[in-house]
Amino acid sequence: MLVKLLYQKVLKPIFFMFSPETMHSSFVWLGQNIAKTPLILWPLSKIYGIPKSTPEVKFDGLTFKGPVCLAAGFDYNGKLSHCLYSMGFAGEEVGSLTARSCEGNVPPRLTRLINSKSILVYKGLRNDGVDNVIKRLKAKKIPKDFVLGISIAKTNDYLSVELEDGIQDYCYGLEQLVKADLGDFYTINVSCPNVFGGEDFASKDKLNQLLTELKKIKHNKPMYVKLPINKPWEEFSSMLEVVKEHEFNGVVIGNLNKNYEDLSDKDEIPSEYRGGISGRPCQKLSNELIEKTREKYPKDFTIIGCGGVLSPEDAIEKIKLGANLVQLITGMIFNGPHLMREINKEYSKYMKQLEN
Ligand SMILES: Cc1cc2nc3c(=O)[nH]c(=O)nc-3n(C[C@H](O)[C@H](O)[C@H](O)COP(=O)(O)O)c2cc1C
């Protein structure tokens, strides 16, 4: 309770005085340094870590110590695993990583839309590139119980705009990760709304071509596809069929919302298109798609629920609708690092009720 008040009343007002990118870089710096300091890591995990009584979440041969992971886009260069585990996350998706390193779009790349509990994201897949991140992750000892997912996307530049080049770009990323035997699972991100050339592979036929090539790269790790949330159900459903046909393990539902009309404070609507919006405006779309997907595939198909998890109740709702696990970013920024512990506790209660 005290840590919650401290974040809400003291830290958050200070943090929100700085630009989101400045705060993000500071957090990454702090997180990396905390990881080197067991004296800080230990109390951190006592305050925020996953309670021992939290039921494990198991699917596709993976075991998560709790139901909540960090979504792709926050630890995009793979620097934070230790710190995240101590903050109550059972795993994360590093990335999205691309074949070539990428500076991202022209700033401002992040804008807080405070009243709508959302972030306008115009990062454009800023990352150090798959080879550099592999080197970094290889040099680190990832916590034993922490599940390391890696999100792969297509480099955000003109060299990968043609279909064939785009496919080669994704394949290069996956091949390097497989060669390095790095990561516990891979997610193919075909739904980044703010890159050069657009969401190329978020259609049935192109997704089919992409997954056909990716399937030729042999490994034994679970694979997921991260889908967009703005497609009509018919289209979304046809993409699910492609994912299933290629025997991927499931999907992440889903990415950022492109419809600014879903912002609850209309005064926060940007005057021009500046990328997708996260948080609250993703919640309804993501939940509806999770529910319909679970109806379509009642079993043997993993759904990772992502978008607008701002409270423990939001997380449980996604699980009730059919998600195996939830991911978040925006909830942590708006509500603070205690959110993950609250979700872990609520999940324990929910699972106990199910048993009784
Ligand atoms: C700053 C930021 C960067 C993001 N970058 C990526 C990315 O590189 N790859 C990806 O698959 N999703 C990315 N996303 C989308 C998130 O993974 C997630 O799908 C979305 O934010 C909805 O979850 P949330 O409401 O909990 O934030 C990004 C989101 C944010 C806020």
**Tens-digit pLDDT profile for residues 270-292:** 988 889 999 999 999 999 999 99
pLDDT at 222: 98
Q: From its phi and psi, is residue 275 left (phi > 0), alpha (psi between -120 and 50) or beta?
A: left
The residues pairing with 92 across neighbouring beta strands, listed in sequence order, are 70, 148
CA 238 to ligand 1 centroid distance, Å? 23
pLDDT at 245: 97
Atom of ligand 1 nearest to the CA of 306: 23
61: buried, middle or exposed (CB in 10 Å: 19+, 13-18, 0-12)? exposed
Tell me if residue 295 falls in helix, strand or coil: helix
pLDDT at 49: 92
CA 355 to ligand 1 centroid distance, Å? 34
What are the distances in angstroms from CA 33 to CA 3, 83, 184, 286?
21, 9, 24, 35
Q: What values do phi and psi take at 108, rounded to 5?
A: -75, 135
113: buried, middle or exposed (CB in 10 Å: 19+, 13-18, 0-12)? buried
Whether residue 167 has pLDDT greater than 80? yes
Place of tokens 């419809």: 259
Does this model's pTM top 0.85? yes
DSSP string, 172-198: HHHHHHHHHT--SEEEEE---TTSTT-
The residues pairing with 152 across neighbouring beta strands, listed in sequence order, are 97, 188
Query: Beta strand pairing status for 68-70 and 91-97?
Result: parallel
> What does the alpha-carbon distance between residue 186 and residue 19 come to, in Å, rounded to a whole number?
31
Q: What is the CATH number of the domain that holds 50?
A: 3.20.20.70
| Residues above pLDDT 90, as percent of the chain | 75
Tell me if residue 245 falls in helix, strand or coil: helix
255, 284, 339: which to mutate for ligand 1, most atoms within 8 A of CB?
A: 255
Residues 222 and 147: beta-carbon distance below 8 Å:
no
pLDDT at 197: 62
Query: Residue 29 is encoded by which pair of tokens?
Result: 């710096």
226: buried, middle or exposed (CB in 10 Å: 19+, 13-18, 0-12)? buried
Report residues whose beta carbon is within 6 angstroms of any ligand 1 atom: 71-73, 76, 95-96, 110, 119, 121, 123, 125, 151, 189, 192, 226, 255-256, 278-279, 282, 306-309, 328-331
> What does the alpha-carbon distance between residue 322 and residue 176 come to, in Å, rounded to a whole number?
33
pLDDT at 4: 87
Query: Residue 162 is encoded by which pair of tokens?
Result: 């043609």
What mean pLDDT, rounded, does the chain reach? 93
- Domains in the chain, number: 1
> What does the alpha-carbon distance between residue 85 and residue 146 come to, in Å, rounded to a whole number?
6
First-to-final CA distance of the chain: 29
**Closest Cα to atom 26, ligand 1: which residue?**
328
**Closest Cα to atom 30, ligand 1: which residue?**
73
> What does the alpha-carbon distance between residue 203 and residue 296 come to, in Å, rounded to a whole number?
19
Place of tokens 């967009």: 228
Whether residue 266 has pLDDT greater than 70? yes
Tell me if residue 96 falls in helix, strand or coil: strand
**Closest Cα to atom 2, ligand 1: which residue?**
73
**47, 54, 36, 52: which is closest to 6 by C-alpha?**
47
- Reported as a single tens digit per residue, the pLDDT across 106-126 is 888 999 999 999 999 998 888
Atom of ligand 1 nearest to the CA of 286: 22
Residues 67 and 315: beta-carbon distance below 8 Å:
yes
The residues pairing with 150 across neighbouring beta strands, listed in sequence order, are 94, 186
CA 189 to ligand 1 centroid distance, Å? 11
Query: Residue 121 is encoded by which pair of tokens?
Result: 């994201």
DSSP annotation of 10 reads: I
Q: Which of 32-46, 162-176, 337-351 has the highest mean pLDDT?
A: 337-351
Range(s) of the domain holding residue 309: 2-355
pLDDT at 331: 97
- Reported as a single tens digit per residue, the pLDDT across 319-343 is 999 999 999 999 999 999 999 999 9
DSSP annotation of 159 reads: G
Band the pLDDT of 196: cuts 50, 70, 90: low
